[in-house]
Amino acid sequence: MKKLLISFLLVLTFSCNNNKVDTYNPYLENYDTRIEFSMNKGLPIAELLLNGRKVKFLIDSGASSSVLNLSYADALGFDYELVENFNFTGVSGRVIQSGIASKAVLRTVDGDRLFVDFKVLDMNEVSQSLRIVGIIGSDYLDRFNYCIDYKYNVIKK
């Protein structure tokens, strides 16, 4: 009986250790990731790390895309490529040429990586008035099922 119990425990131990499944997926963020924000002129502004530098983003569920201001490319260390016939139309109706950002790594101040696909465009007017470098749009919020909680000033899943 003792041998049977020891054999069973050994089999159980090895089977548990060998059945680990690697579930890493870079497009699935930590479920507990929370993005805190403060209100500025009635708008939610989050302080995040872009390529290691602390910067501010507007959280805009009405924006269809997440955007970086191309004017900050050199200072914040991201690259971009403007794409012909790839334009944004702002609320004012003005059409702005845009492109795609690369090498833009975004993290919370706690270090959690946020997998945001950024577009780039010249958004100096908005950027300067709100002191932001970009916008986190509904493309990101929807993809990871985030909810904006205005009561506690946090974006959470």
* pLDDT in the model for residue 30: 56
Residue 15 placed within a domain: no
Taking the whole predicted model, whether its pTM rises above 0.85 is answered as no
- For residue 103, the domain's CATH number is 2.40.70.10
Residue 137 placed within a domain: yes
Residue 84 placed within a domain: yes
Residue 16 placed within a domain: no
Residue 65 placed within a domain: yes
The SS3 call for residue 98 is: strand
Number of compact structural domains in the chain: 1
Residue 131 placed within a domain: yes
Domain that residue 84 falls in = 35-156
**pLDDT tens-place string over residues 17-73:** 344 333 444 445 455 788 999 999 999 999 999 999 999 999 999 999 999 999 999
Query: Per-residue pLDDT for 148 more than 80?
Result: yes
Residue 9 placed within a domain: no
**pLDDT tens-place string over residues 94-145:** 888 888 999 999 999 999 999 999 999 988 888 888 999 999 999 999 998 8
